[in-house]
Structure 1
């Protein structure tokens, strides 16, 4: 009886599963797609599509134009005396820190002791000279065994000998003093950074210039498409901050280690594709910090300014931005704008090729909304608007 009951329960469960599963397999997907389409259409969105142009992307890191890290001198037994403060901006030839050479200091101390002894010796000679003159004056003429001139000549010779030793010691001290402290000076104008942690591997300090650039790489496929002085739009990966700039340097040779590795691996062409160092100058450093990751976009070919409808451009705290349909999700792109042209405004940077910018909508659209991908009808409306 129990077995029969279990069979009946199993049959009921199978029937229930079939009721919910079968519609999904044979038509439920279509309803979901229809619902998504309805959701997208309910917003009533008009789009402006950024022209689809060929672009080269360069990923890089913001670095100072000049940078130097000063390691500790392992030959020195003394602790370096830092002459500047953390955050100071120093000019070239500014003394940054000094080392005291303990051995030289000992030699100077020895010479100073010698000078002290020579001064005492000199004073003793003068005392002896004075006593000799006194004795000479007290002695009767007929009892004198020497002359006053001879006494002076003898003691003056002794004084001259001591003076010669004093002169030599002073010369030695002067020479040693130039070696007692080893000074390190700034080679360029920069900002001082002193590590808070004072372990044995930490540098004494770092000096970095205020000027920044982006150090990136481009693969051999895109190398011939770019050139020095070519304009670039750059954006900070973490914050979306955008600036304009240009390519300032392209290395004609891949890194040596990379070239050797590719030859040794004997890999296929795609896997062994070389990369080349590229530097990009920044037109503005506002919102840019040393170490930031940035992506540069270079438009290839005819570089016409992009004109976006003014009503698609939003403003928040003085920053201009547009909302873009990114495969069904609304995302924000910060932009830099230029002059107005009728109902449009020139956008210098911040947009990507084929971006679908939301110009207007029946329902309010905000960053993070899921609206589905733009329909074909919307695409046709966009083309018409652009014409």
Structure 2
């Protein structure tokens, strides 16, 4: 009986080994499609292809048209008295701050001491004059050695001399007073910025104009492709905010040439760059210091008309969804007029963008929808059986 039981157990073990290991021994690894759907399967996406045109890209930083930092002068022997507040927008000619020149203050104090002494001297002359008159009147006529007229003339001359000294001191004080407190005024309309940290290297305040522009660079290869007043589409790198503008300045000389660096020093084979300025048509959502990328479309600059249904709206911002090598990304756009079911896009698109117009199933930013330009249409997975 015991032997029969052991035989049965052995058969069961062999069956289990066969179930778990025999497929692997016979077939090894086997490829099978996973349960994941092919990327983009059954989405039925309709695209609008942006024409592939030549473009020049200019990276730059937003800067104020005018800016000035007011540092503490070595002549400042006192703490400046700031006359404006942080964030104030002031007109040209507005008094920004004043400071006292204490060396001049000392000179004024010295002149005031002189005036005090002269006033005492003048009073003493008057007292002496009065005593001389009294003595003259008490002296008998035959005993008088001088006349009353002579006494008056003598003391009047002394008074006149003191008055001249007083006049000179008062004039000196008036002249000194014009420079005792130095006033600094705004040279242009701008916004005041007062540093929170008051260290010795920090400026007293900064004044920046509300007008902004983009300071960028273009390499020598693209320099001859662009020109003044050429239209540009600009995008804020951090937020995607888009705006139109144009090239307002192109420097004919690279920064290296300005620094008297000869071409022979350029041994690494890199191209020279040239400074470019771009004006902005509007400043909403743009601040000093923002990094922006400008796109210059070369050619006829024909406006891009996108099907109206491809335009989405979120909190008043217009955008489109683009298939970017299989991933859905968002591009904020500035739109123009509508025309025959299409909408003119003023800025925000890039050459050869594949805009999603519609789809059978909803797609959103971040979705994977596959790239029709690649050979990968399915996701294949290896599983062990």
TM over 0.5: yes
Deviation at 1:152, TM superposition (A): 0.3
Partner-residue secondary structure (3-state), 2:79 = coil
Alpha-carbon contact 1:115-1:169 (below 8 Å) kept: yes
Partner-residue secondary structure (3-state), 1:41 = coil
User: Pick from 271, 274, 277: which aligns with 1:276?
Assistant: 274
Deviation at 1:183, TM superposition (A): 2.5
1:135-170 Cα offsets, whole Å, 9 max, x none, are 222222222222110110111011011011111111
Alpha-carbon contact 1:100-1:182 (below 8 Å) kept: yes
Taking only aligned residues, the RMSD between alpha carbons, in angstroms, comes to: 2.4
Aligned mates of 2:144, 2:316 — CA distance in 1: 107
Partner-residue secondary structure (3-state), 1:260 = coil
Alpha-carbon contact 2:39-2:368 (below 8 Å) kept: no
- 1:43 aligns with 43
1:102 aligns with 2:115: no
Alpha-carbon contact 1:324-1:358 (below 8 Å) kept: yes
Q: How does 1:245-324 map to 2 (within 5 A)?
A: 245-256=245-256, 260=261, 263-268=264-269, 272-324=270-322
1:145 aligns with 2:150: no
- 1:227 aligns with 227
- 2:209 aligns with 209
Normalising to structure 1: TM-score of the pair?
0.86
Greater shift in the superposed pair: 149-158 or 252-261: 252-261
Alpha-carbon contact 1:215-1:277 (below 8 Å) kept: yes
Deviation at 1:177, TM superposition (A): 1.6
- 1:9 aligns with none
1:365 aligns with 2:366: no
Q: Give the direction of change, closer, same or farther, for the CA distance of 1:275–1:192 in structure 2 (3 Å limit).
A: same
Q: How does 1:108-187 map to 2 (within 5 A)?
A: 108-187=108-187
- Unmatched runs of 5 consecutive residues or more in structure 2: 1-19, 376-385
Alpha-carbon contact 1:56-1:299 (below 8 Å) kept: yes
Deviation at 1:19, TM superposition (A): 7.0
Partner-residue secondary structure (3-state), 1:52 = coil
Q: How does 1:81-92 map to 2 (within 5 A)?
A: 81-92=81-92
Normalising to structure 2: TM-score of the pair?
0.86
Deviation at 1:246, TM superposition (A): 0.4
Deviation at 1:339, TM superposition (A): 1.0
Aligned mates of 1:332, 1:18 — CA distance in 2: 50
Deviation at 1:121, TM superposition (A): 0.9
Partner-residue secondary structure (3-state), 2:161 = helix
Q: How does 1:336-355 map to 2 (within 5 A)?
A: 336-355=334-353
1:27-71 Cα offsets, whole Å, 9 max, x none, are x6xx58x966x3313211111110100011111110000011111
Q: Give the direction of change, closer, same or farther, for the CA distance of 1:211–1:246 in structure 2 (3 Å limit).
A: same
Q: Give the direction of change, closer, same or farther, for the CA distance of 1:259–1:226 in structure 2 (3 Å limit).
A: farther
- 1:3 aligns with none
Alpha-carbon contact 1:325-1:374 (below 8 Å) kept: no
Alpha-carbon contact 2:65-2:212 (below 8 Å) kept: yes
- Unmatched runs of 5 consecutive residues or more in structure 1: 1-11, 378-387
Alpha-carbon contact 1:219-1:273 (below 8 Å) kept: yes
1:195-229 Cα offsets, whole Å, 9 max, x none, are 00000110111110000000000111111110000
Name the larger-Rg structure: 2
